[in-house]
Amino acid sequence: MIFGRYPSRDKQDKAIAVSAKKFRSAVGSDTSNGLFGNMALYSRVSGSVGLITLQNPPVNALSAVVRQSLIDLMDRALSEPEVKSVVICGQNGKFCGGADIKEFRSDMTGPPLVPMIDRLELSSKPVVAAIEGVALGGGLELALGCHYRVAHSKTRLGLPEVTLGLLPGAGGTQRLPRLVGIPAALELITTGRHVTAAEALQLGLVDFVTDHNTIEAAVKLALSVAGKSLDSRRISTCKCPRPPYADALFEEAMQRVRRSARGAIAPVACVQAVHAAATLPFARGMEQEKQLMATLFTSGQARALQYQFFAQRAVSRWSTPSGARWDTSKPRPVHKVAVIGLGTMGRGITVALAQAGLSVVAVETHEKQLMEAKRVVSGMLERGAKRLGAPPALDKINYSCEIQAVADVDLVIEAVFEDMVVKKTVFRQLSAICKPGTFLFTNTSGLDIDELAAQTRNPELVVGMHFFAPAHVMKLLEVVYGRRSSSQAVATAMKIGKNMDKISVAVGNCSGFVGNRMLRPYLDQAFFLLEEGATPELVDQALEEFGFAMGVFRMSDLSGLDIGWKVRKAKEMVSKTHQDCRYSPLGDLLCERGRFGQKTGRGWYQYDKPGGRVAKPDPWLHSFLEKYRAQRGFVARRIDHQEVLERCLYALINEGFRILEDRIASGPEDIDVIYVLGYSWPRHRGGPMFYAQMVGLSRILEKLEYYHQLHLDIPSLQPCSLLRKLVANGRPPIHKWVEVIKNPHSHL
C-alpha cells in the first residue's frame, strides 16, 4: 500500500524538487545568496515520514550550508506533529561523501558536525539513514547518529579520514567501536578501508540491505518503528564491548600502524581515539577525539594528504604547452586493443586491459613463450577475479604468435624490450600492418617518443604509456605526448588509463619523462655519498626514516642493478670519460662483479641465497668501498642523515623545478602524483614539490647553493632558474607557481 504510492527515483527527485520549491517560498528564503544551491531538501512522504535529502553535488559533502540546512530541517520534522519518523538520504544516489574537504583549507564556518549529529541522535522521533552510493567519513558518522541504517547493496561505507591525515572526528571513533566492536573498528578506522554493504551488514554497521529502492525500504522501516523506544538505538549510550584480550589488541594495532605508517601521525591518533572509546565513557571519549583531531587538523601531514587528494583528481584536467586540453579533446572509442610482447610488463598490461572489459589480442613471437604468458596471465586473472568475486575475463583475450593478428585493432600497446632498435623495428611493422587510424602506443620508461613516432606513417597517433610494475596493480600511468601526438591520441590514452582504473598523468617527452628523469640526480647523490664515506645502510636508513618504504640501495637490489647498468651502457655513460661532470661508476663495478641485487644474492647488501629478500650489511661491500675510495683519492668523512636527505631530495626537487620550467609537467601536482603513486614518496609528505614548499623554497635554494659550491662538478646541484625566480617572487604558494612559469616577468 505504502510502496504502491511511493514514487520512482526520478519521480521522487521531481517531487523533492517541487516540495523544496514550496519550502523555499514558505520560509521566504533568498535563493540569490546561493543558500539553496548547496543544501538539504525537505518533503513529506507516506503521510508521516519527513524525508530530508542532502543536495550538494557531486558527493553531497557536508558543507556549512548543508549542515545548517540539516539542522533546520530536523527541527522542522520534529516540530510537525504529523511527522512520526524521519528518513535522511542523499540526492543522485549518493548518500554522503563526508565533510567538505575544501572547507578544511579555510576558516571553518557554520555549525560544527559533532553537536549536529548528537542532536540527531537525541531526536525523539526515529531517524533512518537511507544509504546509497557512498557513506564515507562524516557521511557515515551522520548515519551512525541515526537510529537505523538501510543500505543499497551497491553502497560503499567507510571512515577514510586517516587517508586525509585526520581521524573520524564527528564521533566516528567513539560510535563505531560501540556498534561493531573494537577489532573491526580499529581495522576500519586505521586503514580507512571501504566496506561493501554485505560486509557492513555482517559487521552490524547497517541494519538492512536492499537491492531495490533504498528510500522506499527506509521509509517502510521508518513507518514500522514510529513511536517505539529509541533507548537501545542511540549508539552513544551503548557500552563499548571490550574483549578480554583488548590490551593486546591495542598493543598489536599500535605496533602495526607504527610499522606501516612510517612517520604518519594520523593512524597512531586513530588507535589512541579507539582506545579512548574502549576505556572511557562516551563524553570523555569524545573529548579525547576532539583533542586528537585538533592536533591532526593543523598538522602539515593533513595538509599534505589533502593536497594529494585533490592533486590526484586535478591531473585528469590535463593540458599541453601546445594548447591541447582535456575539456576540448575527445577520446576515440576503443573496443579492441593489441599488446605486443608478453614479458612481465606486457602480461600486466594485458590483465589490466582485460579487467577493464576490453578485447585484447596478445602477441608474442615464440609459441613456447606465448603459451607460458597465457598460463601466467590466466592465473593473474583468476586470482584477481577471486578477490573481486567476479568471473575472470579469460575470454577477453586472444593469443597469437603472428603480428598480423593486430590488423583490425583500434589501438596497439607495444611492450617489447626497452631497446630503441627493437622498438623501432616493431613500430615500422605496426605502421604497415594496422588499419588506418590505429593508435600506436609504446610502453617505455624513458625512450624518445618522437624518434619512435618518426618510424610510422602517422606520428600523430603515437603516444608513450609508462606503466609501473606490476602493471595490473600499480595505480600510476605516465601518458607521454610527443611533438606530433594529436590531442585525440592523448585524450584516448588518458581514457584508456582511466578505464584500467589508473591515475594517468600527461607529461611531455624527454629522457626519463618526469619520474625517471628526477630519479637520476637522486640516485647520483646516493652514489656520491658512498664515495664520500657513507654506507648503503646509512643512506637507506635516512630515507626510510623520512618515510620511503625502501631506501635507494635496498630498492635497487630489489629491482635489479643490471637494469640501470644496461641503460647506462646504451647511453655510453659507462665507457665515456667524465671530465667536467662527476660520474660514479660504483653501480657499474658491482654489475661487472655479477652483483645484480636480490636475484644474484649479492648487490649493495648480501642475501642468504639468490632470490633472498632479507638484506644484510655486507662486509665485502664495505671493504670494497674503502679500497675504491683509497684508489680514487676520496677521504671518507662522517655523513649524517640530514646531509643524505638534503643531497638526495633537494637534487631531485631541483630537477622537478627544471621539469616545470621545461613545461614537461604542466604543474607541481603532476610531479607530486607521479612520485607518490609511482616512486613510493611518503604520501603524508605530499610529494617532492609540496615538500619543497613545506621546507621553504629559500631554504632549498640556500642548501643547493651551498652543496653546489662544494661540488662544482655536480650540475644537478646547481639551483635551477625557476627556483630562483620563485624565491625572487616572494615564494608564492604552490598553486601559484604555474603563474610564474607561464609569465616569467610575473611579480605576484
- Which is it for strands 85-90 and 49-55: parallel, antiparallel or unpaired? parallel
Is 348 among the residues that bind ligand LFKQWZQV (CB under 6 A)?
A: no
H or E segment at 121? helix 113-122
Choosing from 88, 99, 182, 701, the residue that interacts with ligand LFKQWZQV (CB under 6 A) is 99
**Closer to ligand LFKQWZQV by Cβ: residue 192 or 464:** 192
Only one of the segments 91-99, 273-281, 485-493, 727-735 lies at the binding site for ligand LFKQWZQV (rule: CB under 6 A); that segment is 91-99
The conformation of residue 319, written as its DSSP 8-state character, comes to: B
Only one of the segments 135-143, 270-278, 643-651, 674-682 lies at the binding site for ligand LFKQWZQV (rule: CB under 6 A); that segment is 135-143
Choosing from 14, 102, 632, 699, the residue that interacts with ligand LFKQWZQV (CB under 6 A) is 102
Catalytic residue among 121, 161, 478, 655: 161
Give the end-to-end CA distance of the chain in Å, rounded to a whole number.
Answer: 66
| Per-residue cell: 93 | 544516489
H or E segment at 275? helix 266-279
Only one of the segments 156-164, 344-352, 394-402, 573-581 lies at the binding site for ligand LFKQWZQV (rule: CB under 6 A); that segment is 156-164
Is 100 among the residues that bind ligand LFKQWZQV (CB under 6 A)?
A: yes
**Closer to ligand LFKQWZQV by Cβ: residue 170 or 189:** 170
Residue nearest to ligand LFKQWZQV (CB): 137
Identify the CA nearest to 442 among candidates 424, 348, 677, 516: 424
Rounded distance between C-alpha atoms, residue 273 and residue 271, angstroms: 5
Q: Is 161 a catalytic residue?
A: yes
Interaction mask 159-198, ligand LFKQWZQV, x per CB under 6 A: -xx--x-x--xx----------------------------
Choosing from 89, 113, 130, 648, the residue that interacts with ligand LFKQWZQV (CB under 6 A) is 113
Q: What angle do CA 145, 146, 149 make, to 5 degrees?
A: 120
Only one of the segments 38-46, 130-138, 271-279, 599-607 lies at the binding site for ligand LFKQWZQV (rule: CB under 6 A); that segment is 130-138
- Kindly state the smallest distance separating residue 687's Cβ from ligand LFKQWZQV, in Å: 17
Identify the CA nearest to 195 among candidates 151, 261, 239: 151
Is 313 among the residues that bind ligand LFKQWZQV (CB under 6 A)?
A: yes
Enumerate the β-bridge partners of residue 89: 53
- Kindly state the smallest distance separating residue 647's Cβ from ligand LFKQWZQV, in Å: 36
SS3 call for 306: helix
Contact set for ligand LFKQWZQV, span 551-590 (CB under 6 A) = none
Rounded distance between C-alpha atoms, residue 151 and residue 144, angstroms: 13
**Closer to ligand LFKQWZQV by Cβ: residue 116 or 434:** 116
- Kindly state the smallest distance separating residue 438's Cβ from ligand LFKQWZQV, in Å: 30
Only one of the segments 99-107, 245-253, 335-343, 516-524 lies at the binding site for ligand LFKQWZQV (rule: CB under 6 A); that segment is 99-107
- Kindly state the smallest distance separating residue 41's Cβ from ligand LFKQWZQV, in Å: 19
- Kindly state the smallest distance separating residue 413's Cβ from ligand LFKQWZQV, in Å: 24
| Per-residue cell: 449 | 617518443
**Closer to ligand LFKQWZQV by Cβ: residue 170 or 292:** 170
Is 97 among the residues that bind ligand LFKQWZQV (CB under 6 A)?
A: yes
Cell 555482517 belongs to which residue?
A: 202
> Are 582 and 634 a contacting pair, CB within 8 Å?
no
**Closer to ligand LFKQWZQV by Cβ: residue 16 or 314:** 314
- Which is it for strands 503-508 and 476-481: parallel, antiparallel or unpaired? parallel
- Kindly state the smallest distance separating residue 197's Cβ from ligand LFKQWZQV, in Å: 14
- Kindly state the smallest distance separating residue 352's Cβ from ligand LFKQWZQV, in Å: 18
Q: What angle do CA 459, 461, 462 make, to 5 degrees?
A: 70
**Closer to ligand LFKQWZQV by Cβ: residue 495 or 647:** 495
**Closer to ligand LFKQWZQV by Cβ: residue 189 or 574:** 189
Rounded distance between C-alpha atoms, residue 40 and residue 509, angstroms: 48
- Kindly state the smallest distance separating residue 194's Cβ from ligand LFKQWZQV, in Å: 8
Catalytic residue among 121, 132, 141, 655: 141
Choosing from 50, 90, 126, 138, the residue that interacts with ligand LFKQWZQV (CB under 6 A) is 138
Interaction mask 34-63, ligand LFKQWZQV, x per CB under 6 A: ------------------------xx-x--
Is 305 among the residues that bind ligand LFKQWZQV (CB under 6 A)?
A: no
| Per-residue cell: 734 | 604552490
Cell 674503502 belongs to which residue?
A: 626
**Closer to ligand LFKQWZQV by Cβ: residue 132 or 414:** 132
**Closer to ligand LFKQWZQV by Cβ: residue 113 or 197:** 113
Rounded distance between C-alpha atoms, residue 666 and residue 321, angstroms: 8
- Kindly state the smallest distance separating residue 326's Cβ from ligand LFKQWZQV, in Å: 12
- Kindly state the smallest distance separating residue 699's Cβ from ligand LFKQWZQV, in Å: 31
> Are 518 and 668 a contacting pair, CB within 8 Å?
no
Residues in binding contact with ligand LFKQWZQV, number by CB under 6 A: 22
Adjacency order of strands within the sheet including 134-136: 134-136, 156-158, 195-196
CA dihedral 416, 418, 423, 424 (to 10 degrees): 180
Rounded distance between C-alpha atoms, residue 583 and residue 743, angstroms: 35
Enumerate the β-bridge partners of residue 85: 49
Burial (CB count <10 Å: 0-12, 13-18, 19+), residue 520: middle
Cα 654 to Cα 52, 197, 314, 571, 651, distances in angstroms: 52, 47, 23, 23, 5
- Kindly state the smallest distance separating residue 55's Cβ from ligand LFKQWZQV, in Å: 14
Enumerate the β-bridge partners of residue 481: 463, 508
DSSP string, 57-120: TTTT-B-HHHHHHHHHHHHHHHH-TT--EEEEEEGGG--B--B-GGGGGS---S--HHHHHHHH
- Which is it for strands 336-340 and 439-442: parallel, antiparallel or unpaired? unpaired
**Closer to ligand LFKQWZQV by Cβ: residue 100 or 540:** 100
Rounded distance between C-alpha atoms, residue 138 and residue 97, angstroms: 7
Choosing from 50, 90, 98, 667, the residue that interacts with ligand LFKQWZQV (CB under 6 A) is 98
SS3 call for 42: strand
Adjacency order of strands within the sheet including 208-210: 39-45, 49-55, 85-90, 127-131, 148-152, 208-210
Is 384 among the residues that bind ligand LFKQWZQV (CB under 6 A)?
A: no
Is 101 among the residues that bind ligand LFKQWZQV (CB under 6 A)?
A: yes
**Closer to ligand LFKQWZQV by Cβ: residue 266 or 413:** 266
- Kindly state the smallest distance separating residue 95's Cβ from ligand LFKQWZQV, in Å: 10
Choosing from 50, 90, 126, 137, the residue that interacts with ligand LFKQWZQV (CB under 6 A) is 137
CB atoms within 10 A of CB 24: 16
Q: Is 132 a catalytic residue?
A: no
Choosing from 136, 676, 720, 723, the residue that interacts with ligand LFKQWZQV (CB under 6 A) is 136
**Closer to ligand LFKQWZQV by Cβ: residue 146 or 360:** 146
Rounded distance between C-alpha atoms, residue 689 and residue 38, angstroms: 34
Rounded distance between C-alpha atoms, residue 564 and residue 654, angstroms: 22
- Kindly state the smallest distance separating residue 160's Cβ from ligand LFKQWZQV, in Å: 4
> Are 354 and 381 a contacting pair, CB within 8 Å?
yes
CB atoms within 10 A of CB 312: 18
Rounded distance between C-alpha atoms, residue 446 and residue 509, angstroms: 8
SS3 call for 182: helix
Footprint of ligand LFKQWZQV on this chain (CB under 6 A)? 58-59, 61, 97-102, 113, 134, 136-138, 160-161, 164, 166, 169-170, 310, 313
Residues with catalytic roles: 141, 161
